[in-house]
Amino acid sequence: MQILTTPNWQDYELLDSGDGKRLERFGKYVLLRPDPQCMWRPALSGSTWQKADAVFQRKTEDKGVWQYRNTLPEKWLLRYKELAFWIKLTPFKHTGIFPEQAVQWDFLQNLITSSLSQDAKSPHVLNLFAYTGIASLAMAAAGANVTHVDASKPAVTWARENQAASKLFDAPIRWIVDDAVKFCQREVKRGVKYDGILLDPPVYGHGPGGEVWNFAKDFPHLLSICKQLLSGNPLFILVNAYAISASALMLQNVMQDYFGDLNGVIECGELTLQEKSAGRLVSTGIFSRWKHA
């Protein structure tokens, strides 16, 4: 079990947490969002928390509204190393970026760069449930050919805006709006192979044709299809999961079922952010990854 921590960077900081909330800085703006697991006491004063530019108020289990204390633009640009991406406030409390994933972007880029130093052939990688595409851009910037798949057309549009913001205009990225399972099944029939596969599956979801995704029911099946898509000498399989009632050990055990016979190592653990205030780690999700030995 590993604990992977993404340090604060120039355009993002976890300022403080507690009382079921997170206080975060995204560029110039400070946001206050709910996080029920943060049951401890905040380290910073209440007056500091009151200075948040916008506060998310949950209205239903899935949706809510942002209350603006100061004027914010409709979207604004953040940067991580050579990447640039747009932040927008959505009714689901999300902003278009999961900052804890930066440690995974680095992992993927290092693997791809190392592969290219040994082989002139660019790896072909697949990003499923790919959202706003920052991982796709990270892999493309490192030299991979990327197939980006998400069921949401607005999310893919947002991802393409991020591509333009990062000035990766000529990056070899194939943008696909499709149900992940159906897409992978068709790729198997077409005989397509990938050197790496990244999955960020939700707990529940719907495809563009009304397809229903249920993590507990569909995740093992999708992994079995992904196994058929792997090339003869793959680099990685990476799974990130959020808000599921299971541990990273579950992910590792399932990964072992499908990829344990490959020549590599399976790791698992938690993704965390570290507060600027008191240095506490805040768990944001779990992961498991197989990488070539």
Q: In the prediction, which pLDDT does 141 show?
A: 98
Confidence of residue 59 (pLDDT cuts 50, 70, 90): confident
For 249-275, how does the pLDDT look when each residue is reduced to its tens digit (9 = 90+)?
Answer: 999 999 999 999 999 999 999 999 999
Q: Taking Cα atoms as reference points, which of 278, 207, 199, 280 lies closest to residue 237?
A: 199
Cα→Cα distances 246→172, 219, 253, Å? 36, 13, 12
Q: Which domains does the chain have, with CATH numbers?
A: 8-87 (2.60.40.1180), 99-292 (3.40.50.150)
Residue 86, strand partner residues: 77
CB distance 43 to 278 below 8 Å? yes
For 16-46, how does the pLDDT look when each residue is reduced to its tens digit (9 = 90+)?
Answer: 999 999 999 999 999 999 999 999 999 999 9
Q: In the prediction, which pLDDT does 226 show?
A: 98
Q: In the prediction, which pLDDT does 120 show?
A: 75
Give every strand in the sheet of 54-58, ordered side by side: 12-18, 21-26, 29-34, 54-58, 64-68
Name the pTM for this structure: 0.96
Q: In the prediction, which pLDDT does 161 show?
A: 98
Rounded-to-integer distance, Cα 284 and Cα 42, Å: 17
Q: In the prediction, which pLDDT does 48 show?
A: 97
For 222-250, how does the pLDDT look when each residue is reduced to its tens digit (9 = 90+)?
Answer: 999 999 999 999 999 999 999 777 899 99
For 130-155, how does the pLDDT look when each residue is reduced to its tens digit (9 = 90+)?
Answer: 999 999 999 999 999 999 999 999 99
Q: In the prediction, which pLDDT does 58 show?
A: 84
DSSP secondary structure of 22-42: EEEEETTEEEEEE-TT--S--
In the block, residue with structure tokens 């909330």: 21
